[in-house]
Amino acid sequence: MNTLLLTIILVPIVEIYLFIKIGSNIGAFNTISLIFITAIIGVIYARYEGLNTLKSGFTQLVKNEVPAYEIISGAAIAFASFLLIVPGFATDLIGFLLIFPLTRKLIFGNLSKKFQKKNNQKNNFIDGEFEDIEEDDDRKI
């Protein structure tokens, strides 16, 4: 079965189950309030982390390095923001895991290291200058 189709079916089932379980323990109003609070806090923190990642990416570019981790991190923050806006506890948990720098580094650190190793191997060249010398009959080399 297609993974995307399976995800589209299973995520709402898990979210509804969690809504029922958590709602029966803390009440309907508190459950709805908790969903809104996590969405607001998550989006504000995502904005903060996104700006930090952007600054770090520009710093890498100024150093003439490939901002591989920053690119991956920016995409992860955008996806985490989407997950935090979608109502649900499981999506909020995954969103918060992706938004915090420590867990994001654990998840995507190895991926960016592999990309940077490939990029460093491709740049095996020596920079230099040259000058064309025209051969004249008077001057022999």
Express each pLDDT in 14-44 by its tens digit.
999 999 999 999 999 999 999 999 999 988 9
In tens, the pLDDT along 124-138 reads 666 777 777 776 655
99, amino acid identity: I
Distance CA 85, CA 43 (A): 7
In tens, the pLDDT along 90-132 reads 999 999 999 988 888 888 777 767 666 665 555 566 677 777 7
Distance CA 14, CA 53 (A): 31
Whole-number pLDDT of residue 136: 61
CB atoms within 10 A of CB 90: 15
Report residue 27 as tokens.
């009440």
Nearest to 91 by CA among 82, 99, 100: 82
Nearest to 86 by CA among 3, 12, 2: 12
